Chain A
């Protein structure tokens, strides 16, 4: 075996390296090492993030074409890394709390393993590798969801998560075995499947196969109707994990979804899965929005908001173009910073006071003006209000979807646009609680820790500048182009 091929997997190797370093430090370093583990891991990961941004991608497929680190894959990994870095910053204080401090090594190790799995999902061009990535991205997450040992909600959430994850894997594998039957020459390479499926008539079996695959990955993305675990898991999990689940896990799955459905099932677009995704997207956006309106717990609220955001992300899949992939990656990146800004505020307040209800945010601006300011910007960004980044990511993805001049897609965009109004309503409820609702503030004024503030500053800078400065979108589209040449 030619070991030099591993050199092409540089991003994965970096993550694996960090994992090993953290693991050894944690296991053999003793008490002293555990004390500095948080800053150590965070700084190390920060450096890795920078490294992954700057290393060149390797467009040569390796392992016989199972794995390829195209420019788009590498850009996506780098973006996810930024998100993970922010999550690490905002969870720094939490990992030092009494309950978690002794196990914080595990927290970092599990997180790095899941990230490794997501990297594989992104780069996989063979269903076997994809499933390996998916599993190693899902199963450790269940342990992370259960990280608050003493809270039964956390356990309940973990059980829910693991059951749905396993169930969805089973469905996905069922779908893949059907796909395998279609591929003729017994190959699970994306390219081979596309070739084999070209010209295939839409039989019941093929529809079932694709429906199973959509369902399997849809669980991960919490697309409606596979979203039922989301709210409970988001609510029960520790806030840092919720943040991680809502952006990183979702972002990687969305990208993998795009790659699979363009590279493997691209020829079936108009025949089989266009209308499936059409229905799923409309249901996801609408139902996510309608349920979000009624939520009183901020974490549940963000769960439903993230369901509807996943619907917007999936709009990119309907385009099947470099423009669409670029817009989708840009959307994910903007979604990462906006959502993490919200979670930074939620976790800071939860850590200080234990409050997560929306009514607890009443009058927050009187005691914590900066947190209020950041939360307001983040809500505006999620709702798609200019001049914040969320506006641009929404409009750009809409623009790329309407490029195909099909009336059906125009109507899809219309539904999405109308749904932005519904989402605006509930995002404004948070803004209203913070700025308008009368009464004394329930959260006392406090100063966040340095890491939390840094996380929030990164997010706020992203919210303000990602849209106004066109380079990131340009970068995403440029990176996406080679995949379609």
Chain B
């Protein structure tokens, strides 16, 4: 079991928790040492996994999932701990590792109760990594919920503003989604098994493809809505602005950067892949909803004055774009969707990290009370502009590549319905530009609003490390999108085949 590389993505965070548990309550040095060591190891493992994956693919290994392993867990119900990765999950693991790494440095000075904060943070990352390596629906769901619950305490204890309300709202809404999701998964498992034994393995279910069409429609709604709640799909997005606004920096980063991707990834891997005929039949409903998400999120971001709310609504819009792309059900758009996940993950994490840093200095997030940060803290100002450009899809940044691919793919469907929604979604780019440039103009470039801000310092070394990591990755995707394309290309084949067979 331990010879499988993937399983270590779960074991290392558990070691991280054990290490933290041994640290003294306020022994910051020891806590930081554990966090930095483990998150660096995770990042190293993720990079190594990508290299190894590309090497195996290059060597001609065309099996659907690599590094597979499967161990019996609950025998009476045929539940396994089954792991395996394709190109998409490899990149998601890399994204998670990057953001956990950056998040560690972004919460360098967390207080109070630093040990508990990192304990829950580590549990959250266990869930995230576990989710992406699982190919057994039961373990996938378990890790999904493991990733959700620490949010309550992370926001409730270390958050700001109306934290209790937001934490409760976020937790209950996400768990509500997972209630529907669980029912969907149960249905899928029992309907694709045989002789009273449920089947939880995703590859096996896709291979059997034995779910009755009338059940498929119901199960598709359950699973898509279940994951869609986490993907901030309209009208289930309302937890997102409140939750993000109140969360501490590292948690916002991880949540917007990775957790919301769990939703998109789940829709893609479970709802679309396992229930292809329902996906063909019912995608129009969710295209409408995600279309609304995209435009509505962007418009909402325009009128907010709190920096975190602006980014939370922008996340609603961008994550809507991810789901929208997946629902186009063709390879180009899906590729764009995956790129958008990566791009949005890195960009939002960068945004939230910067907002946390700015808030830590000015103690306000209201854009009306700040201005001219470029004069005061040029490093953070420049970073903010870079993140903004990535967000509005400037060529050379990751956002451009992702959105272009999505729209190219989306135009492949030539009927009127798709056209209308694609055009509406395209308009969101303009709206994005409006709210990004509005903030950049006022906050970064405008006149200094508050004399007290003039004495503030620029970024410290750990903040620079955190931001540079993210910016390098953002630009990396922007300039070299091809290697990502190569990594994920083969992963779409089974899904697209399943979808075409279901027409």
Interface residues of A (CB under 8 A from B): 323, 326, 365, 380, 385-387, 391, 395-396, 398-400, 402-403, 405, 410, 413-414, 417-418, 420-421, 424-425, 428, 431-432, 435-436, 470, 473-474, 477
Contacts and interface: CB of A to CB of B under 8 A. Distances in A.
Interface stretch (B38-46, B152-160, B339-347): B152-160
B142 interface: yes
Contacts of A421: 172, 175-176, 179
B82 to A, nearest CB: 14
Interface string B458-490: 000000000000000000000000000000000
Interface stretch (B70-78, B234-242, B358-366, B416-424): B70-78
A260 B156 CA distance: 46
Contacts of B156: 432, 435-436
Nearest to A422: B172
Given A380-B149, A424-B171, A432-B156, A326 B76 contact: yes
B145 A386 contact: yes
Nearest to B25: A369
A342 to B, nearest CB: 18
B187 interface: yes
B153 A435 contact: yes
B186 A398 contact: yes
A323 B77 contact: yes
A473 B180 CA distance: 25
B145 A391 contact: yes
B382 interface: no
19 contacts: A385-B149, A386-B142, A386-B143, A386-B149, A387-B142, A395-B182, A399-B198, A402-B187, A403-B190, A405-B190, A405-B191, A413-B183, A413-B186, A428-B168, A432-B156, A432-B164, A435-B156, A435-B157, A473-B74
Nearest to B193: A403
Given A326-B76, A395-B182, A413-B186, 6 more contacts: A395-B138, A396-B74, A403-B196, A417-B179, A428-B152, A470-B75
A349 B74 CA distance: 37
A287 to B, nearest CB: 19
B189 interface: yes
A424 B180 CA distance: 15
A323 B76 contact: yes
A402 B179 CA distance: 14
B182 A398 contact: yes
Across the A-B interface, the 7 shortest Cβ-Cβ residue pairs: A417-B179, A477-B76, A436-B156, A386-B142, A402-B186, A385-B149, A421-B176
Contacts of A432: 156, 164, 168
B146 interface: yes
Interface string B4-41: 00000000000000000000000000000000000000
B138 A403 contact: no
B246 to A, nearest CB: 12
A473 B76 contact: yes
B175 A386 contact: no
Contacts of B157: 435-436
Contacts of A410: 183, 186-187
Given A399-B189, A418-B176, A432-B156, A425 B146 contact: no
Interface residues of B, number: 36
Contacts of B171: 424, 428
B183 A396 contact: no
Nearest to B173: A421
A400 B189 CA distance: 12
Contact of A431 (B73, B141, B153, B198): B153
Interface in B132-174: 138, 141-143, 145-146, 149, 152-153, 156-157, 163-164, 167-168, 171-172
A432 B168 CA distance: 9
B167 to A, nearest CB: 8
Contacts of A425: 168, 172
A269 B198 CA distance: 24
A436 B163 CA distance: 9
A424 B175 contact: yes
B222 to A, nearest CB: 9
A395 B138 CA distance: 9
Contacts of B77: 323, 396, 399-400
Contacts of A365: 113
B146 A387 contact: yes
Contacts of A435: 153, 156-157
Nearest to A322: B76
A424 B168 CA distance: 10
A413 B77 CA distance: 17
A396 B75 CA distance: 12
A417 B175 CA distance: 10
Contacts of B149: 380, 385-386
A71 B191 CA distance: 32
B262 to A, nearest CB: 14
B161 to A, nearest CB: 13
A482 B113 CA distance: 52
Nearest to A438: B164
A192 to B, nearest CB: 30
B74 A436 contact: no
Contacts of A428: 152, 168, 171
B121 to A, nearest CB: 15
A431 B171 CA distance: 13
Contacts of A323: 76-77
Contacts of A380: 149
A380 B151 CA distance: 13
B152 A470 contact: no
A470 B74 contact: yes
Interface in B61-108: 73-77
A365 B141 CA distance: 30
Nearest to A419: B179
A403 B78 CA distance: 13
A414 B183 contact: yes
Contacts of A398: 182, 186
Contacts of B163: 436
Contacts of A391: 142, 145
B192 to A, nearest CB: 12
A348 to B, nearest CB: 21
Contacts of B176: 418, 421
Contacts of A403: 190, 196, 198
A403 B199 CA distance: 12
Nearest to B155: A436
Contacts of A473: 74, 76
Nearest to B75: A474
A400 B74 CA distance: 12
A417 B182 contact: yes
Nearest to A416: B179
A167 B161 CA distance: 53
Nearest to A413: B183
A136 to B, nearest CB: 34
